Amino acid sequence: MQKTHPQYADFEAVNVQIENSVATIRLIGLDRIIQLNDSGSPAEIHFDLGRALSRLREDHSVRVVVITGIEDGKPWHLPAPPFSESVIEDFRKEDAVADDSEGVTLPDYLWKPFHGVRILHNALAEIEKPVIAKVNGDVSGLPQTIMFGCDLIVAREDAVVIDVHMDLKDSLGFDTVPGDGGASLVPMHMFPAKAMEYLLLAKPYTAKELERMGCINYAVPQDQLDDIVDEMVQQLLSKSAYALAMTKRVVKRRVAEQINLTLDSSSAYEWINFLHHQGSGGKASTSLA
């Protein structure tokens, strides 16, 4: 794999390469909790991707952005493993220490990922450069909201797409509100009843099914994915940079409005789910009483 562009070398969870006016972002870090459970890595994909996109917005050498997985066929986001109390306790302790040289501490161990979600989706909505999701593996959780936040979506036809928040009892011990963008973005891609089924029942779809539903642009065989995305990139590069940027900005106002309307509340409700689970001693609730 090519080396990360020097201007973006400080990101741990994403690899950014720039060539011929195209920035390719490869998601190399999974969700921070999973990283901690596996290797103790502090990589934070919510934060890193949002900050990388914000920097690319100001990079005049870049006209098109492509977001993809680190390796063909490898899931963008592995299903969350069961978390032991010791793992979560270590996670809390890590975020309880000073976060910078001035000794500023984070107010809660969930602050950074939820703050990162807002940075990420605002960056996707506001960057004037076209962003293509090149889905080269299964996407679940945060990465499927990244996919739905992109402007154009091309996926391998057998890729499985799922929002897992309402099916986390085996891993987290409780289900949660889709607070990382799914509740905001999915209803913009699916009919209301389909969006409800997808989110409430954590129903998986293949990319081919999503293409038939009109939710993504193309679902193609794996061996055609690169060619389709490359052709799309070249078509974008052939357009007026200014007209392209302003057209995207106008079209994206509706997405930005939806994010402003619902992202804060959905992420706050998911945070409440974590706090409720913690406060109830891990007793799953099946009643609102």
* Domain membership flag for residue 288: no
Mean pLDDT of the chain, nearest integer: 84
Contact predicate 65/23, CB 8 Å: yes
- Determine the pLDDT at residue 125: 96
Within a domain: residue 236? yes
- Inside any domain, residue 286: no
State the pLDDT at residue 78. Answer: 47
Cα 186 to Cα 196: distance, rounded to the nearest angstrom: 9
Model confidence pLDDT, tens digit, residues 89-109: 544 444 444 444 455 454 566
Give a yes or no: residue 284 inside a domain. Answer: no
| Residue 17 pLDDT | 95
**What pLDDT is attached to residue 55?**
95
| Tally of domains within the chain | 1
Q: Identify whether 163 is part of a domain.
A: yes
What pLDDT, in 10s, does the model give residues 117-150? 999 999 999 999 999 999 999 999 889 999 999 9
Per the structure, the complete domain to which residue 204 belongs is given by 6-279
Q: At 87, is the pLDDT very low, low, confident or very high (cuts 50, 70, 90)?
A: very low
Residue 43 pLDDT class (50, 70, 90 cuts): low
Q: Which residues contact 229 (CB under 8 A, 6 or more apart)?
A: 66, 132, 134, 154
Please report whether residue 95 resides in a domain: yes
Closest by CA position to 136, among listed 212, 51, 221: 221
| CATH code of residue 51 | 3.90.226.10
pLDDT at 89: 52
Q: Which of the 8 DSSP states describes residue 94?
A: H
